[in-house]
Structure 1
């Protein structure tokens, strides 16, 4: 049995390091260790997450997935969440989340009492579904409020869109184009997704009339 750490990083690299430290300390207190880390930069609202899919492919039957908060996995629409649960079930993978104490039992020695084991699994699955629903609602509410704010600003003629971080974009351009760093190296260095690097470089090349 292996334990894999799964993180969804923000644009701030320190956040990922903090989460790694927190999860590592928790696991070590149980006399265990995390075998490998999978750090995601894609949107939490989509199931198209390369690192998560890689983790699910690498993991073997009965392995554990360690996360800091259940919304790192569950902030999906209902159909995507159901599909993810099916993928976890197929390999009998167990999810342990720091904010879900009922999931911590998965790190304990195997419970021989089948009835008790089934009850614990049922309670944990119910809690995961409930927190997943809460995460989805919170995400949808924030998106709705954001849209309402933008719509209101537009009607008042005050909306100008999100201001680009010109300094960050310039840094991305220099690293990728002038210093010829790879897309992934550039993304990791500045703390953004590879997709952002491609988009920024493409736009800046057009602006500078480069091919």
Structure 2
């Protein structure tokens, strides 16, 4: 299912089910249905809060969405605006120090600790045209910084501690400061 389909067709439960199944598959334990107690798993509780915050925001309960995002920041050290659109299948194995200030994030994306997605300069108005877009299947390794209005193509890989300030083509592997192509894409 593509990102565009996720917003219109998937509710919070279906998004969480997709996130849970992808997490289990990544851990080598696919197939188990999600139970309500899984919301307390240290690998999944922050995803539940991200999804709930966005659902509150979309339903018009913007203050409750912001409060839920603030709770996520306090508990897990992950800063995600409640307005951020994120497709199904999100995995964030380690949450410490993550800032997801993107324009949008696609489906089946994996984001590791200490990642920053955001504008190049302070952007208090949250102008989406100044923020990164992450397409489906991207992997962003620990410590990477993706800054400005860049596009991370489908199935690309951003290496650990890379600083990305220009577009990354689908399937490319980039790394370094500033990031350069280490392996060409499709």
- Which structure's CA Rg is the greater one? 1
TM-score > 0.5, shorter chain as reference: no
TM-score by length of 1: 0.28
Structure that is richer in helix per residue: 1
TM-score (norm 2): 0.31
Of the two structures, which has the highest relative contact order with CA contacts closer than 8 Å and spacing of 6 or more? 1
More strand by share: 2
